[in-house]
Amino acid sequence: MIQIKTPKEIEIMREGGKILARILSQTLEKAVPGVTTWDLDKFADAQIAATGAKPSFKMEKGYYFATCMCVNDMVVHGLPDDRPLEEGDILGIDMGVYYKGFHTDASWTKEIQNSKGKSQKSKFLNTGEEALKKAIAQCRPGNHIGDISQTIQEIVEGGGYSCVKQLVGHGVGKSLHEDPEIPCYLRGQIKNTSEIKAGMVLAIEIIYNQGKSNVIYSNDDGWTIVTRDGAPSGLFEHTVAVTPSGPQILTCT
């Protein structure tokens, strides 16, 4: 069942979203060659705790980290480890915050560089950012979830990349994962997908690969999903509230 939030609940989620956005940005800034994803996770964990909030992901059964750290061919649920990041790696950081009874969820992907010069993988990453921006614009009352999915698919595939079909965005609120599911590609007809209504809060996720769409579990940790062909993957996500006047991004500073 899709949960409709009150304006007061959305304001609470906005407070939590600002905390999340700030800490995610700070963690991304610290992601440079030589740093480990374990170091980054410990930093994010401590920053979340300092606000009085909780890491949403640690509330998931069997998961013990504040973040998911996806390097290169990792698609989602990458576990932080002690391998130093290298120049040219692609790192996706996924993070959730539980604040005053509500979750918010966000992620971002960057190329690891010593300098702030132009990324060698800028086209791939820019495509994900554009898809997220335009998908969020579809979060208006009267549209359908299929409008979001179709927009993501058109931009990702138009850039020459592939949408991951086994993974989805989702509603978010008192639970980290709520209805509806939001695929990165259009399943069936738009009119047959859930109608978007004011009060819905959605975690819009762009989950896409530079190569083919197929993904697999990489090992026996039960979490890490990678691209089958070993090509890089990207992840961009915001938590978005649907209001009568249109979408509002909650995970921004």
Q: Does 1 fall in a domain?
A: no
* Domain region containing 33: 7-249
Alpha carbon distance 201, 249 (integer Å): 10
Ranges of residues in the chain whose predicted pLDDT is under 70 = 115-120
Closest CA to 55 of 42, 71, 74: 42
pLDDT of residue 41: 98
pLDDT of residue 49: 98
Q: Does 149 fall in a domain?
A: yes
Query: Cis peptide before 183, with omega less than 30 degrees from 0?
Result: no
Q: Does 2 fall in a domain?
A: no
Contact 109, 74 (CB under 8 A): no
Question: What is the distance, to the nearest Å, from the Cα of residue 156 to the centroid of all Cα atoms in its chain?
Answer: 15
Structure confidence by residue, pLDDT tens digits, 203-219: 999 999 999 999 999 88
Q: Does 81 fall in a domain?
A: yes
Q: Give 91's strand partners.
A: 71, 110
Q: Give 216's strand partners.
A: 226
Contact 28, 116 (CB under 8 A): no
Q: CA-based Rg of the chain, rounded to a whole angstrom?
A: 17
Alpha carbon distance 11, 16 (integer Å): 9
pLDDT of residue 117: 62
| CATH number, domain with residue 17 | 3.90.230.10
Question: How many independent structural domains does the chain possess?
Answer: 1
pTM: 0.96
pLDDT of residue 119: 63
- DSSP-derived letter for residue 190 is G
Q: Does 194 fall in a domain?
A: yes
Contact 49, 131 (CB under 8 A): no
